[in-house]
Structure 1
Amino acid sequence: MCYFDEYPEETELITFGKMESRGITGRADDGIIVFVDSYSKVEVKLGETWICRLLRGHGLSQYYLAWPIEKIERKQPVEEVSEEIPIEDGSFVALGNDRIFSKKLREGHYTAYRSLNGSWLQLIPSENGNIGCRDNSIAIEGLDGFMSGLFPRTLEYSCREDCFLIKLEE
C-alpha cells in the first residue's frame, strides 16, 4: 500500500539523528518527532539530511511520518595533510574535523560534553568514559558540524579542576 498522494505538497529539511524503538527519528521545525514512513522503502541512516514530505500520524499522535524525497549530501572540507603537528607544549590541536591532539591528553578514557551552541567542548578523564585516548589523540564522532577550516589548527583551551574546556570555533 502506497499512499504517496496523501502527502501534502509542503516539504521540510529533516536531519535524522536519533534511534528510537520504532526506528530512526528527526525533528520537524515545529519540534514534533519525525519517523521515516516504512512504505517509502527508502533507506535513511543516522546523521543523514533529507528533503521530506510530512504527514501527521493517525489520530491525536504527536509525530509525523516522512516520505524522503531527496538526500542532501554534505560537502566534506578539504583537509590539508601535513606531516608535522604544530604543537607547543600543552596546546590542543585539531588534526581534522573529528580528531584532537594534545600532550596533555593521557592514555585512557574520557567523557566529552559539547555546549548547546556547539562552540565549546569539555573533556573529563573518566574510567567509564566512552572516548578512548591513544598516542595523545582522541577522535570524537559528530564534531564535524562544529569544526571546519584548514587543519591542523591550534585550539584555545583552559584547564578547570580535573577537565579541559576547549573552544571549537575560531
Structure 2
Amino acid sequence: MSEFYNLTCKDGKGEDFSFEQYKGKVVLIFNSASKCGFTKQLDGLEELNKKYKEQGLVVVGFPSNQFAGQEPGSNEEIVTFCKLNYGVSFDMMDKIDVNGDNESPVYKYLKSQKSGLLGLKRVKWNFEKFLINKEGKVVSRYASTTTPASLEKDIEALL
C-alpha cells in the first residue's frame, strides 16, 4: 500500500481527515491563496473537478499563507471566499505551511516524491500542483504557472 494513503491532515472545519478515503482515485493537490495572482486558477480547478469527479478525480486545496501573506484569512473565511467567488465544491483543507520547520506532513511527503524545477524540494509559490495516480503514487508536479486546463491530458491518462 502506498504511503500516500497513510497521510492525515485537518479538513477546512478542523476535523481529522485520512487520505485512505482517496484509495482508487486520481488526486490533484495544490496549495492556494486567496490574494494571489494565480487565484483565478480556482475556476479551472473547479472545472476539472466537475468534469472528472464522476470518473474518479479528486481535487484538494491546501491554503497557505507562506508566500507574501496572500492567505491571511481563517479556514472559514477561505472556504467561504472560494465558494462564493469561484463556486468551489472540492475539498479545501486546513491552512498549512508547505515549507519549513512547520511544514505539513502531506507536503513533506509530496515534495519527497517529486522535486520541482532544477531538483528543488521546496514549493516556490502558491498554486503548485501534484498529481497522484490511483495507486497513490505521485506522478507529476506542476509549477504555479501551469494552468488547470493544461493538466487534462495527464488526468485523462490516469483515469
| Interval of TM-score (by shorter of Structure 1 and Structure 2) | under 0.3
- Larger Cα-atom Rg: 1
TM-score for the superposition, normalised by structure 2 = 0.23
TM-score for the superposition, normalised by structure 1 = 0.22
Richer in strand (by share): 1
> RCO higher in 1 or 2 (8 Å CA, sep ≥ 6)?
2
Richer in helix (by share): 2
